[in-house]
Chain A
Amino acid sequence: MSVDAAHLSTALSAPVRHETGATKTATGAFGRRLAVLALRQGSMAVFIGVLVYFSIAAPYFFTVGNIGNVLGQSAIAGVLAIGLTIVIIAGGSNVVTGGIDLSLAANMGLSAAVYASLLQAGQGDAVAIIGALGTGLVIGAINAAAITLAGIVPLLATLAVMNVVAGLELVLTQNTVVPASSDFLSAVSASGPFGIPVLAYVLLGFAALVAALVQYTPLGLRLYAVGEFPEAARAAGLRVKLFISGAFLASGLCGGFAGILSVSYLSGSTTGAGDMLLPVVVTALLGTVFSRRLVPTIGGTLLATLFVSSLINGFQLLNISSTLVSGVQGLLILLVVSATTLLQRKGNQ
């Protein structure tokens, strides 16, 4: 029955929740909702507070040009985080046994390398786009097969795939930057209407498209059911493994798409794509505080991405060492997770 090995599924689960068998009272549920509201509004307040502070401390921060920059700079990480969010939704919130795709960043690196190499080999953009997206899709397919057919827990399956993919990127590029330029790439990295980078529009458009699919269609609802309670999904006649495979395919595709954006943004492939992995994981997890039910959502992930990018941008404008960003991200995740953990504990009492 169970997809993963019996021991691992229990061994890797989150700490024991302190559930009492007692039925929850109406006031308990109400109290919890109030606390969730406080957490959600609190996070929004922090987000807005930080923006306001930056705007006052560095007047340039709150200009159309700069906001466009922040959006544009978020595009690559944002697309990756959205891909990861889909996987977390379909795999459940237990990050070890549930949904995680550690191969995403490496996927982006390889897809970008494939794109740049194809251009170098004299192919056109169309072929390169197909090559990059195809690369992403194949990686997604391998992840999906390892998880649903071989039954490897996602954390390990995608970890192993990540190693292979990162190796393939090195093989392809010999660990160098493969330059790439074409009219299409220049168009994507150019400035669009209102002086805002095209990449910003791409991010917003992509997020809107995926959000429509995930938050507003039956498909999306089923994806949540599969992740949160696979038995319930199965009982409702849904083919759980198909959904999980689909989520990994989608995430692979996002990796390929991010690869294209990255080639355009950097005018070539780049080494060290793997460094983006953990920030992207943190971003996708941070996003959950922006949802009423404390579940991952596309909108929440987008907000979290923009929050982190604003921090980096604001720190730069204020001449604060950007190395602090990693610390702030770490503290944020700890704060958010502590708050939700204490909340759940309280809710269960």
Chain B
Amino acid sequence: MATSVVWNEADDIIRLSDIVKRFGGAQALSGASLAVRRGTVHGLVGQNGAGKSTLIKLLAGLHAADEGVIEIDGTAYASLSPQQVEHLGIHFIHQDRLLVPTFTVGEALFLGREPRIPGTPFLDRKRMRQTSAEILDRYFGLRLPHSALIGELTAAEKQIVQITRALLDNPKILVFDEPTAALVRREAELLFTLIRRLRDEGITILYISHYLSEIVDLCDTVTVLRNGRDVATLPVKKTSAKEIGALMVNRDIAELYPKPKVLPGRPFLELDGLGLANRYADVSLTLHRGEVLGLTGLVGSGAKELLRTLFGLETATAGTVAIEGETVFSASPAAATAKRLALVPEDRRRDGVALDLTVSENTTLASLDRFGRAGLLDKGAEKRQARELIERLQIKTDSADALVRTLSGGNQQKVAIAKWLSRQSEIYLLDEPSVGVDIAAKVEIYTLIGELAARGAAVIVLSSDIDELLGITDRVLVFFRGRITREFISAETSPDQVLAELTGANETLRHVG
């Protein structure tokens, strides 16, 4: 059933065959297979719930398979223990960089296998320091002051330290689980270069990511999981992100970006010469009712800070903001929400939804004033509002009283948006709205954005996924080094054009011209 590439089985370092895994009555894996060839970068993709994480946990020895065989390096195992896994040379690089912030690089690298001064029970700090400096320099050309603490490093530097930790054990197989989630594009590029080098040194890489463009860029082979099975294993050279995406959802890629045609209405939000010291300057733009405006830029380009300013999390140092012609000044999120602004923040699980409040409580958190009755909360009205929004946004939850923690990423994001619908906000600022959301929920969120615009709201979407941005917006503004450098009409633009602008590749040309 799976279209397979033909190669010599002896070349496979990992072979998972016909794995079945049940949790209670639910079947997480129903006959999934995965064969990873020695010395390659192998991509693993699938929607949330497709069985990716279960498969990885089996490989890590955290779950035992109900049926099927695991073969590592030619030896078959019924199940693995974490100790065995480590012994076999399989290491996992997680998206959360698991390093102690108050440790020095040396301490973090050697935690759990510290060198001792010979003949004593004491730490050999000197050796830790020297060895770590040497490895970091040799592998990555990274030189850090030896007193530098993990907490003072950038996200990419931390990731390098984590990979180095794994390299100290001479691993045969490295498993990367969404490693770029917290990285800037430039940092991600650095990581890719590194992964290719590790592959060239003979290490096998299993790479799991939501970003299909990364898979196409980086991997030699890709396996697509759907509904607990592998539906395809393809050489990346012979496929495309679109084809992989279609396999994941089994739906035509054209349906991915449903964009209703909305004619922009009257000017709604107007920025004139807005600036924030050292972040961005001279931002002027007009957002109309019914319009979806895209923003993009590298980290530090100022785009994110612009959203934060509009929502009152930062205070502008220059320029003005006007809503329907009236100048407003938002010094706090409270002031901004009063002006009908809404922010769906990027760090959803920290800022967007309260995981241990119920769906209903999250939904009404920003609009509690609406549910007052004689000074008390009208819980019945609250519940009705929540149910209505659960229905309207198709939030998959057991009930309005379920904790948001129990929802999937996509449904949590819908709750984060529902909060503002309940408040009847009209200017929506969406910061990376589809990060960590599976494809089906993404499409639903895109549809919702279209509906908001159709009802006369104005939407600003900040995203680093250019395909998405062009697919769902009317216009895209590119930020580069604190200024808007270019405006694109989404329907007439190709991703490469935006990318070139975004990374500053056009900069030199323009100066010459």
Beta-carbon contacts under 8 Å, A217-245 to B: 217-218, 220-222, 224-225, 228-229, 231-233, 235-238
B7 contacts the other chain (Cβ, under 8 Å)? Answer: no
B377 contacts the other chain (Cβ, under 8 Å)? Answer: no
A29 contacts the other chain (Cβ, under 8 Å)? Answer: yes
Judge whether B101 and A228 touch: CB under 8 Å. yes
Judge whether A228 and B347 touch: CB under 8 Å. no
Judge whether B100 and A235 touch: CB under 8 Å. no
Main secondary structure on A side of the interface with B:
helix
A293 contacts the other chain (Cβ, under 8 Å)? Answer: yes
A216 contacts the other chain (Cβ, under 8 Å)? Answer: yes
Judge whether A225 and B103 touch: CB under 8 Å. yes
Beta-carbon contacts under 8 Å, B319-373 to A: 346-347, 355-356
CA distance A24 to B405 in the complex (A): 30
Beta-carbon contacts under 8 Å, A1-22 to B: 6-7, 10, 21-22
The distance from the CB of B334 to the nearest CB of chain A, in whole angstroms, is 15
Which of A6, A29, A232, A237 is the one whose CB lies under 8 Å from B99?
A232
CA distance A10 to B152 in the complex (A): 25
Chain B residue with Cβ nearest A9:
B356
B123 contacts the other chain (Cβ, under 8 Å)? Answer: yes
Chain B residue with Cβ nearest A232:
B98
A23 contacts the other chain (Cβ, under 8 Å)? Answer: yes
Chain A residue with Cβ nearest B107:
A221
CA distance A222 to B112 in the complex (A): 7
B residues within 8 A CB of A233? Answer: 100, 111
A210 contacts the other chain (Cβ, under 8 Å)? Answer: no
CA distance A218 to B71 in the complex (A): 36
A295 contacts the other chain (Cβ, under 8 Å)? Answer: yes
B residues within 8 A CB of A23? Answer: 154-155, 184, 299-300
B residues within 8 A CB of A212? Answer: 122
Contact indicator per residue, chain B 169-185, by CB within 8 Å of chain A (1) or not (0): 00000000000000010
Chain B residue with Cβ nearest A228:
B100
B residues within 8 A CB of A24? Answer: 152, 154
A residues within 8 A CB of B356? Answer: 6-7, 10
B63 contacts the other chain (Cβ, under 8 Å)? Answer: no
The distance from the CB of A7 to the nearest CB of chain B, in whole angstroms, is 5
Judge whether A229 and B101 touch: CB under 8 Å. yes
CA distance A13 to B355 in the complex (A): 15
Interface size on A, residues (CB 8 A): 31
CA distance A216 to B96 in the complex (A): 28
CA distance A221 to B100 in the complex (A): 11
Judge whether A229 and B152 touch: CB under 8 Å. no
CA distance A283 to B362 in the complex (A): 41
Contact indicator per residue, chain A 246-266, by CB within 8 Å of chain B (1) or not (0): 000000000000000000000
Main secondary structure on B side of the interface with A:
loop
CA distance A236 to B91 in the complex (A): 11
Among A6, A212, A225, A295, find the residue whose CB has the most chain B CB atoms closer than 10 A: A225
Contact indicator per residue, chain B 105-125, by CB within 8 Å of chain A (1) or not (0): 001100110101000011100
CA distance A21 to B462 in the complex (A): 15
The distance from the CB of A317 to the nearest CB of chain B, in whole angstroms, is 39
Beta-carbon contacts under 8 Å, A188-214 to B: 212
Judge whether A29 and B152 touch: CB under 8 Å. yes
CA distance A23 to B405 in the complex (A): 28
Judge whether A224 and B94 touch: CB under 8 Å. no
B residues within 8 A CB of A237? Answer: 86, 112
Given contact pairs A7-B356, A228-B100, A231-B96, A222 touches B111 in the complex (Cβ within 8 A): yes
Given contact pairs A229-B98, A232-B98, A232-B100, A216 touches B122 in the complex (Cβ within 8 A): yes
Contact indicator per residue, chain B 65-101, by CB within 8 Å of chain A (1) or not (0): 0000000000000000000001000000010101111
Given contact pairs A21-B346, A23-B299, A225-B103, A235 touches B154 in the complex (Cβ within 8 A): no
Chain A residue with Cβ nearest B308:
A20
B149 contacts the other chain (Cβ, under 8 Å)? Answer: yes
Given contact pairs A21-B346, A21-B347, A238-B112, A217 touches B102 in the complex (Cβ within 8 A): no
Chain B residue with Cβ nearest A292:
B147
The distance from the CB of B182 to the nearest CB of chain A, in whole angstroms, is 9
Chain B residue with Cβ nearest A226:
B100
Chain B residue with Cβ nearest A29:
B152
Which of B99, B108, B112, B299 is the one whose CB lies under 8 Å from A22?
B299
The distance from the CB of A27 to the nearest CB of chain B, in whole angstroms, is 11
CA distance A231 to B114 in the complex (A): 18
Chain A residue with Cβ nearest B152:
A29
CA distance A266 to B111 in the complex (A): 44
Judge whether A21 and B304 touch: CB under 8 Å. yes
CA distance A6 to B101 in the complex (A): 23
Binding site for A on B (CB under 8 A): 86, 94, 96, 98-103, 107-108, 111-112, 114, 116, 121-123, 148-149, 152, 154-155, 184, 299-300, 304, 346-347, 355-356, 405
7 more A-B contacts (CB under 8 A) besides A23-B299, A224-B103? A22-B300, A29-B148, A29-B152, A221-B114, A222-B112, A229-B98, A232-B99
Ordered nearest first, which 3 A-B pairs have the shortest CB separation? Answer: A236-B112, A218-B114, A29-B152
25 cross-chain CB contacts under 8 A:
A21-B346, A22-B299, A23-B154, A23-B300, A24-B154, A29-B152, A218-B116, A218-B121, A218-B123, A221-B107, A222-B112, A224-B100, A224-B102, A225-B103, A228-B103, A231-B98, A232-B98, A232-B108, A232-B111, A236-B98, A237-B86, A237-B112, A238-B112, A293-B102, A293-B149
